[in-house]
Amino acid sequence: MTRKIRGSGVMDTLPAVFAFSAIWIGLLVVTAPVLTITMMMSGIVPPEFHRDIWFFLATRVPMIALAAVVLAVFTTARVAGPLVRLSRAFDDVKGGDMDRRIGFRRNDKHLREVERCFNEMMEVLSERTDSRRGLEAEEQTAG
């Protein structure tokens, strides 16, 4: 019986968004102005275009920053979401839920092997736990 773990979406992965945001903002927001200003100072861009370029930087860089944050939220949810699911499944098993199974999103094909191995492991653990309980029950009735 596979059940989806609730709460492994964007809200649960937000703490990791800041790290990804820093990467994307650094990559997109800092690179564009630095390269543009370097081209302006080196003479590659004629002086008559400098005013247009400053306008472009002042208006487009904030949009690029917003796009970087959105991209960070998306990539974080895609990367950290399955890790949150696994962590919660491990916590459930540690708490005694031997019927715990996991199922990842259909698009997470790279995690199918992890899903299969976890679910097979839980099957074996459940069987061993059930057989141990059966032996304990027999010992109590015999003793």
By three-state DSSP, how is residue 107 classified?
coil
User: pLDDT > 70: what percent of the chain?
Assistant: 85
Domain parsing of the chain, residue ranges: 10-142
* Ramachandran bin of 9, using left for φ above 0, alpha for ψ from -120 to 50, beta for the remaining angles: beta
pLDDT for 129 beyond 60: yes
Sort 46 into a burial class: Cβ within 10 Å, 0-12 / 13-18 / 19+. Answer: exposed
What's the whole-number average pLDDT of the chain?
81
- What pLDDT was estimated at residue 10? 59
Give the residue with greater pLDDT, 9 vs 66.
Answer: 66
CA–CA dist 122, 48 (Å, integer): 69
